Amino acid sequence: MRVIAFKANTAGRYHIGRLNDDESITDLTELTGKPDLTPFEINECIDMDGSVWSSMLTFSGGQTLSRESIELTSPVPRPGKVICIGLNYRDHAEESGMAIPTSPIVFSKYSSCIVGKGAPIILPSMSTQVDYEAELAVVIGRRARNVSATDAYNYVLGYCNLNDVSARDLQFADGQWQRGKSCESFAPMGEFIATNDEIADPENLRIRFRLNGETLQDSSTKELIFGIPALIEFLSKHNTLEPGDVIATGTPPGVGFARKPPIFLKDGDICEVEIDGLGILTNPVISGDVNV
């Protein structure tokens, strides 16, 4: 199933739905018993141990909508946690001039910087070095604590495109990455979650980033240093993972700051992240500290 979240009116609240093969949308919100949802209630809907999720898997009714009639948002509008893994592709670590990690490098992004397909990436006025990072995002669907790698996939709802936008001048000036990674709009995600059964091998997917149509990253998730089961095992030892939490698994080589000359995002650019089976995440770039 391809799970989406969207807004269907001007009230600003959310619906949960299914993206069908013909690109129509089935609204599944009625299964919650509510007319619409808060972003946090979306996380409850995708709890694989919950009654709403089990109903979603078998539901054959629901209102059918066209894509043109709704506003698509991130499929997880407000994750409880956005956990990111740094330097998780060997050749990206090498292009960054950093040692190959011997255990996962973990940082986070504020969940408030999540936006969906079509939403603008906003260039903050205090940065002149905003960069792109195409990543495979893993969406957790079941409460996970001290999970073994052999059991890890049982806790995965599915997968999604993510762009780990990064203000490099802020990131490197601070000595830690939180501020440079968490500016408003710095985590585009979407356009849908492909559930675990839709992706035969998440560690063998082609991953690409295009800037204004030019391919700047082109690799495969088979190049991950720490695979998805290992990451879930590692992370769940330290924190309880919950439905709707997002793990961004790292970016392949080709990022802007490592190029000669460097390439940074500018007003008017169009960013595209494309991973096999996950559609295309497209976001325009705009200047200025404006509301999203």
Domain boundaries along the sequence of the chain: 2-72, 82-287
Mean pLDDT, range 169-175, rounded to an integer: 89
pTM of the model: 0.95
pLDDT tens for each residue of 203-239 = 999 999 999 999 999 999 999 999 999 999 999 999 9
Helices (H), the chain: 39-45, 51-58, 90-95, 168-174, 178-181, 228-238
Q: Which CATH superfamily is domain 82-287 in?
A: Fumarylacetoacetase-like, C-terminal domain (3.90.850.10)
The confidence score (pLDDT) of residue 10 equals 61
Q: What percent of the chain has pLDDT over 90?
A: 90
Report how far Cα 95 is from the mean position of its chain's Cα atoms.
23
pLDDT band (50, 70, 90) for residue 8: confident
- Decide: helix, strand or coil at residue 180: helix
Mean pLDDT, range 122-128, rounded to an integer: 95
- Decide: helix, strand or coil at residue 209: strand
Q: Give the tokens for residue 189.
A: 């995600």
The confidence score (pLDDT) of residue 64 equals 95
Q: Give the tokens for residue 200.
A: 């035969």
Mean pLDDT, range 179-184, rounded to an integer: 94
The confidence score (pLDDT) of residue 289 equals 60
Mean pLDDT, range 243-265, rounded to an integer: 96
Question: How far, in Å, CA of 78 to CA of 245, rounded?
Answer: 9
The confidence score (pLDDT) of residue 292 equals 43
